Structure 1
Amino acid sequence: MGLWNIRSRLRPRATKRYPVPLSTHQLWMVSLSAPVSRDRTASRTTLYPFTRIDDETARGWLAEQWEITSRKELVDRLDDLSRSGYRARAQQLFGVAPLAWDAALYVDIARRGFGCGLIGEADAWTALKNIVPSVVRTYASWREYADHYLLGRQVWRDGLQGAGDPDLPAPQAIADAHLRALLDPANAASPWNLAPWDTISHPDRPR
C-alpha cells in the first residue's frame, strides 16, 4: 500500500465530523456537482467534498485550478459562474448556453471552499440555494442536465486545446462514462437515483 493511501486511511471520515445526513433538498443541491466528482476520494452525499477530511487538498486545488486563495476570490468566482461563466462562449459557438457545466463547477467550488474554511457551512448552503432557481427553470431531468454538462465541458476542453494548453483534462470519453454511470437506474450509489430530479420540487424532508 502506497504512502498516500496510508495517510488517506488515517484521516477521519467526513461523516464523523458531519454525522447528520443531508435532507432530500440538500442532497439534490450537492448532486449538481456529481459530474465533476469522478475521483474515488470524492463524496457525493455530504456537503464536505471528500469522503475523508482533507482540508489541505481542497485549499490546494482551489489555488492551483482557480487561483482562489481568499474568501473574496471565491465569492467573485461563484458570482461569475452564476452570471455568465463558460456558457457565454458556448452560446457564441453553438447557440446554446449550457448552464449545467457552470452550475456543476459552481457547486464544486462552493463545496471545496467550505472544505478548506474559506466559507462556513451556512454560507455554503446559501451559495448552493442561489443556483437552484436558474437550474430548475432550465432543465426537467438529470439527463438534460447531463447532456448540457457534457456540451459545456467539450467547449471548455476545446478552448484549452486551441490555446495549446499542455495540461489537458481527462478525455471526453471518461466524462461520458461517468455520466452514464450516474444516469444508470441500476446504480444504487448514484446520487441522482438517491435524489431524483423532481425531489427539489417537493417539500424537503430528512433522509
Structure 2
Amino acid sequence: MGFLSSLKSFFSSSFHTLEGARPLSDAEQRGLALGAVHAAEGSLPMNALTMEADQRTAARLLAGAWDVHGPQDVDATYAFLLTEGHRGYYAVVGPAVEATFEQRLGRRESEAKADEVAAQAAARGLDGARAREWYLGWLAAAKVGGHGELVDPLPASIVAWDAARVVHVSRLLVDAGFVDEARAYAAIAQAVDLARPAYASWKDFGDAFCVGRAFWKASNMRDPLDSEIGKFTSATRSLLEQEDSPWLTVRW
C-alpha cells in the first residue's frame, strides 16, 4: 500500500472498535447505531456494548450521573428513558420559545408565557415548575446564539436524544454487571421502535440528538448554553461522512 493509500485509510477509518468483540446481529447493529454520536464523541467502541470501564468505575459513574446504585434501579431507569425522558418537556417548551420569537414578546410577556408553559406541562403530567425553568433556559440560550450550531428549523421531537441515552446508559450497566447484554439489547430494541417512526434518516436522527443535547443543557437556567455542542455536531457529521460509520452500513 502506497503512502497516499495509507493516509486515506487512516483518515477514513477513524472510529474506535473493540478488537475481538463478538459479531453482532442485524438488530444489535441497528440498536448500537442509535448510540453512535456518543461513541464517536467519546471514542467508545462502535462494535460492542461497553465503555471499556471496570465494574467499580462503571458503578461510580452510574451512581453519580444516573442515580443508579444497583440492579434494582435498572428497570426504572429504562422506563424513564423509554416512556418519559426529556422529549415531553421539549414538546411543550420548544413551540413556546418559537412563539416567543415570532410574536416578539417582551420580558413581561415572556414571563406570562412561562406561566402558560408550566400550566400546559402540568396538564400533561409533567413538572410545571421544571418546564417553566426549561422554557426560560431554552429562551435564554436562543437569545445569545446557543441554537446557532443546531439544525434549522428545529425538529418536532428529540426522542433521538432519549433513545440514544438508552444505549449510552446500557454500556455502563453492562460494564457494572447490573444487566447482561440480553436485557440491555431488549431495552435498546424498544428505543429503536421509538426512534424510527420519528425520523426519515440517520441525518434527521443525528440533528435531533444534538438539539436534545442542547435542550438538556438549557435546563440549567444559570448556565443554559452547551459549550460542548460543537463536539457532538462534529461527531454527527463524521458519522454521515466517514467510510466506516455504522450509519452508512445500517440503513435507517
Whether TM-score is above 0.5 comes out as yes
Match of 2:157, SS state, is: coil
Matched, 1:122 2:182: yes
> 181, 190, 193: which is aligned to 2:245?
190
> 21, 29, 35: which is aligned to 2:31?
29
Return the letter of the residue paired with 2:205: Y
Q: Which residue of 2 aligns with 1:4?
A: none
Runs of 4+ in 1 over 6 A off after TM superposition: none
Displacement of 1:72 in angstroms is 2.4
Contact in 1 for aligned 2:85/2:162 (Cα 8 Å): yes
Displacement of 1:60 in angstroms is 2.1
The residue correspondences of 1:54-69 to structure 2 (distance < 5 A) are: 54-69=54-69
Percent identity, aligned pairs only, is 25
Contact in 1 for aligned 2:157/2:198 (Cα 8 Å): no
Return the letter of the residue paired with 2:240: L
Q: Which residue of 2 aligns with 1:7?
A: none
Q: Which residue of 1 aligns with 2:42?
A: 39
Match of 1:36, SS state, is: helix
Displacement of 1:189 in angstroms is 2.5
Q: Which residue of 1 aligns with 2:237?
A: 180
Contact in 2 for aligned 1:27/1:46 (Cα 8 Å): no
Q: Which residue of 1 aligns with 2:204?
A: 144
Aligned residues between the structures: 175
CA RMSD across the alignment? 2.1
Displacement of 1:76 in angstroms is 0.6
Unaligned runs of 5+ in 1: 1-12, 198-207
Matched, 1:91 2:148: no
Aligned-partner Cα distance in 1 for 2:59–2:249: 29
For residues 29-71 of structure 1, the C-alpha deviation after alignment (integer angstroms, 9 at most, x for no partner) is 011011122223x111112233xx6333322221121121112
Aligned-partner Cα distance in 1 for 2:80–2:90: 15
Displacement of 1:178 in angstroms is 1.0
Displacement of 1:88 in angstroms is 1.5
Contact in 2 for aligned 1:48/1:115 (Cα 8 Å): yes
Q: 1:193 to 1:49 in 2, by over 3 A?
A: farther
